Structure 1
Amino acid sequence: MEDMKQRKKEEKPTSSRQIFCLSGPLHLTSVDWNNFHDRRSVAASLVQGVYILERDRQENRTDPVAHAPPWWEFFNFQLVHILVDDVDNSIFGAIYEFKFSNFNHNHSAQKSPHYVVAFRGTINKSNTRSRDLKLDFLCVRNRLHESSRFQQAMQAVESIFAVAENSRIWLTGHSLGSAISLLVGKNMTKMGYNVEAYLFNPPFLSAPVEGIKSEKLKHGIRFTSSVVKAGLAAAVKGLNHNHNKHNNHRPEKDESFSSLSGWKPYLFVNPADLISSGYIGYFEHRKKMEEIGAGKIEKIATQNSMGSLLSSSEQRDIEPLHLIPSAYLTINMRHSPNFKHAHGIHQWWDPSFFGLSELHEYNPYVLCTG
């Protein structure tokens, strides 16, 4: 009797958020792959599948009581590979393959992915907290590329493209996972590959200006920041030009940034999420700068961060992780009661979701937003 009481005390209650039949998008009994909202919901669910894979591991849940499989099986995907961190042995990513069949091969199936590579964000549990927070810190310092987790992710994606180059391959992630996806996507684009990316609550590594109520003050801060960054970037470029005269030429940062202009990842942010909401101002500020005739200044500023410009020469050469030329930006317009909800993955498959989407395009010669 005492043993039974002890076992009950040690058992951890399972959150309904982990159980697909309680919180998953059950309304998507038939996915229209031409529908942007359906694709968003599926991508978010596959990321949730990675979260639950790790929770299943932590709580020793295996088939047939594991909670993770419905998060991909409901959409006719199969799990073909898991990515395990070599430091804490946690599951941080998964590779899914879409199972084509006569049942799901409708007119929209041509838009479905063949493979999806998904990455989870930080899990604030004792098993994963230490490692995830260290990676968060590397992300803030613009050194995520140095982590073994990113290198594993990069190798996995490269391997898929090597064997399935002509397939439709998606990258998706949430929070820290979206930072990994973004960095992988940038690298694959520069290598000449076409990858579709769905990035949920991607970290914007800059001062949280979005929390300021006054639009005039926000614009003033952004304008001043753009002018300062443009000036610093011009000074640094001059130093680099003199340095490159005596060394092998390396591509200028603006060349690298411009090479990404054709890649248009899907970004999903919430105005109440201070981690990702900076992307709203980042793209809106471009439009305003163009409207007031300061597009040339912003063209330089948009590809530089204050942190990288003021860092050591070695770190200065590294392209800021969070800055991207073009994107489809989707903003969740529904009220979020707290930060946890605003930064959560669950909002992105909610059937009552209401958001605004806009394509922001970067032209290396003429700055424009459409």
Structure 2
Amino acid sequence: MKGLLLRLSAVDSGAETAVRVIAYFDELIARRATLPDLLRATAFLAECVAGIRRVDGAVLRYRPTGEPGGDGPVPPDAVVVDLDGAGRVWLERGGEAGPLDVLVLERLAISAKVLNPVEPPPAAPHLADPALVELVLGEQAADEDRARALTLLGLDTTRPLRVVAVASGAERDAGADAVALVARGKPLGARVAVVGGVAAVVLQPREGPDSVVSTLRETLALRAKDRTLPDTVRVGVGDAVNGLEARHSWLQARLAQRFAAPSRPLIVHEDLGAVTLLAEIPAERLRAQPDVLALNALAESGDLETLEAFCRTGSLRQAAVALHRHHSSVAARLAHVEDALGWSLDDTAGRFRARLALAARRLAESG
């Protein structure tokens, strides 16, 4: 912004100066200035502190030097202009107002509203109309019907979204668990409905779809600590898609959720890659596979958790840390696992076979 900066004291007052002030703020808008840059430029122009109180109560103030001026109250002698219910802007001149102060503030107010439009607060996650959600995620609906359903759900048809599948286990309310999952942390613009016993969560955060996975992982970690969600919850995340393609994200989320396990309760579809091909094998064939049967026997002995930790971390010592056990105890358990399975876990092929068998077993159980 350096080449743009202008000082009122460097120009004469009058109509020509007013035009230059208007052009000054028009250029800031054209350059898509951030709100801090807009305030810095205004403070430099007016040669005094410029401030703004946004509709959410946040206060920004900048000095003519470009340094932050703190978030204190508006001085009683400041020149103030309201933003039509969207906050207020002011200049802290500390004396008689300058002849162009009101014009400067009016242009600051206009620029602030153009560059930082006030958006309604994100809707709290709630159980949405299941008929609308099913219409958005269904197979047979026409595009115009999907678009209307998205609008009725309060979602923007022009912005990408993700769909998340949440399964809670027997005798749990998947919808309630899904709401608990998305109600904490960053707002995700969630709409929740239970479809076929699994909660479908349509997410359209203002920050964009890339914020979904990290927010859900943080929330799951917090919920695990405060025990507000059971360890039976399994979460699958579909890809980011156009709103009219929400069904594709839903099917991906359902598929990813089938790969989730106690050690990895959240699975992202795009992270699975070619492993998704396993889901094309009928569940009954997976259940009858000898390696899967061997893992079922390990589950009864309590050694399956050790194998999962070892495959997840790739290290005996890291597995011991994850399990909160001494590494010698984990080594003994892994030796027992190798005896039961009939193959070694020391080489890459053996570990790959174990990971594949674990994934097949999870699919067999979810199928």
Larger helix proportion of the pair: 2
The verdict on a shared fold, with TM-score over 0.5 as the criterion, is no
Report TM bin, short chain. Answer: under 0.3
Which structure is larger by alpha-carbon Rg, 1 or 2?
2
Tell me the TM-score normalised to structure 1 length: 0.21
Indicate the structure whose relative CO is greater, using CA pairs within 8 Å and at least 6 residues apart: 1
Tell me the TM-score normalised to structure 2 length: 0.21
